[in-house]
Amino acid sequence: MSAKTVLIEELKPLLPATEIPFAVFYWKTKGKRVRPLVFRGGYKTLPEKKSKVDPASTDVLTTHFVALTYAGVIVYAIEIEVYDHLGPDGIQTLFVSKADTTGHYTLGPGNKPATAPRPKLALGDVTSGIIRFILKCYVDPTRPVRICLFARAEKQYLFPLSGDLPSKHVLSGAKLIRWWLKVLSNTVNNGAIVEKVGRARLQIPGNEPHTIRSYLPVNAGGESKTNWQIGDVFWPDDKPELPAVKCIPRFKDDPLTRFLDNIVNDRRADTVDKKRFWMELETQQEFRLSFEVGVIGIEFSVNPVESFYQQLRKAKDESIPTLKNRSFDSLREFITTLDYSSYEVNQHATETLSRRNSKIEIAGTRTDTPVDTPGDVQPTTLLAVKRKRPETVARSLDASIVKRKAVPVQNKPVVDTPLAANTLDTSIIRKKPKTEQGVRSLDASLIRKKPASDTPAETTMLDTSLIRKKSKS
């Protein structure tokens, strides 16, 4: 059986039955040696000193990019990095780098609603299916596996300007964390590819334990292989005193990695343990903006009976295109630098991909999904890039229920700002020129001076007509 066939069989029951089939574009890179995912000595300074390459001290990185299309436009994409450590522990790490929707599934040309209602697209189930496919075909079942991700809601990650579409339903940080916990639970519980689950952990920096506990999935009857707890999958449970640099993985362009590099540059690598790492992490920009940010991890082993890994390696299967890293980077840049607020731009991009790359058509068979309407498709955005800190932020409200007042920029009236408190606008104050002696006086129209012959020259008197006397009671 080819990898292409496995992918079709995995996704077919998860996609809704529609008039026209879905199509998938799937690319993966050739494995390349990268720096160890976790520091293994030599972390006194950055970058690490170059030396002879020891295969046992390096990791091999393969990147998978999957784009799901319908009716000629991209509707969803996910990027997953697979790190294979060739050392004694031999752990394999799947890092969900980015995932996003375009908001175009329920739309047609001109961003107008589709002419006919479409069955709901359950992207949580589709995401679980894609991860299970990778576990079946590209993960060695003889060695342990873990999945890691860093969840924080944003308007867009892979598809620029797609967040401007009302049809794109952007989840709050709290809802996104729960969404991913459910996706990973379904990944390991549904199907037989996962044999045994170890630690399943959630950490939300800056939140109290009782708050984090409210996010953890509760097993409502039936068999479940997962037991979610507060914590992480990076430190051994019995060795919290280990330095963070020997436990935290250094994923590409990840907030944890940036903070870890700062620790090394500050020459504190030997002194920052587990407790201090999470405490200091709360002060970092990505974690102090009052948004819920989830660090999620789960460990398990793959069932060798359900795995096609060895079979595909022996057959040298290439039914899923394998690209050189430079070609993959160019293709990814093309997909992720367009204006996805336009249906026509998305349509043109999909047509270009169809001419340049082979697509896999999949006719969905799922019939238990309700009708979808604009705004129902769930986005799955992840934090993987630096962002500027906004001046003000909302407290984890679902963007779909927050109504923001538009603030005009170009036509905003210009208002003179007072130089100090309790200062009147100069447009309503009439000042008299300074007198010869430099003394300010009231406006001459409000003051009647008595002739100089009757009173001393320096004396001025208010006109009695301008004085209101209090009537006697």
Distances (CA, A) of 204 to 176, 207, 378: 12, 6, 22
**pTM of the predicted structure, to 2 decimals:** 0.78
- CB neighbour burial string for 145-167, b if at least 16 within 10 angstroms, e if fewer: bbbbbbbbbbbbbbbbebbebeb
Q: Is pLDDT at 179 greater than 60 in this prediction? A: yes
Task: Count CB-CB contacts under 10 A for residue 180.
Answer: 24
Pairing mode, strands 92-101 and 73-85: antiparallel
- Nearest alpha carbon to residue 338 among 74, 136, 99, 109: 74
Strand ranges for 261-320 from DSSP E: 294-302
Residues 125-144: tens digit of each pLDDT = 999 999 999 999 999 999 99
- Nearest alpha carbon to residue 353 among 52, 26, 114: 26
Backbone angles phi, psi at 14, to 5 degrees: -100, -20
Band (pLDDT 50/70/90 cuts) for residue 391 is very low
Instruction: State the Cα angle at 172 between 166 and 175, rounded to 5°.
Output: 120
Alpha-carbon gap, residue 431 to 425, rounded angstroms: 12
Is the model more confident about 152 or about 374? Answer: 152
Alpha-carbon gap, residue 162 to 346, rounded angstroms: 10
Band (pLDDT 50/70/90 cuts) for residue 370 is confident
Is the model more confident about 344 or about 444? Answer: 344
Pairing mode, strands 194-203 and 228-230: parallel
pLDDT of residue 320: 94
Residue 77 tokens read as: 């994409």
Band (pLDDT 50/70/90 cuts) for residue 460 is very low
Most confident of 144-158, 286-300, 457-471: 144-158
Q: Is pLDDT at 392 greater than 90 in this prediction? A: no
- Nearest alpha carbon to residue 463 among 451, 450, 448, 473: 448
Residues 44-66: tens digit of each pLDDT = 544 444 445 555 568 999 999 99
Per-residue pLDDT averaged across 371-383, rounded? 53
Peptide bond into 236 cis (omega under 30): no
Contacts of residues 182-186 at CB distance under 8 Å and 24 or more positions apart, as own/partner, are: 182/124, 182/217, 183/124, 183/127, 183/128, 183/131, 183/380, 184/128, 184/147, 184/226, 184/296, 184/298, 185/217, 185/224, 185/226, 185/228, 186/124, 186/125, 186/128
Residues 285-343: tens digit of each pLDDT = 777 766 789 999 999 999 999 999 999 999 999 999 999 999 999 999 999 999 999 99
Is the model more confident about 241 or about 461? Answer: 241
341 sits in which H/E element: none
- CB neighbour burial string for 301-312, b if at least 16 within 10 angstroms, e if fewer: ebbeeebbbeeb
Alpha-carbon gap, residue 292 to 178, rounded angstroms: 11
Neighbouring residues of 419: CB distance < 8 A, sequence distance ≥ 6 = none
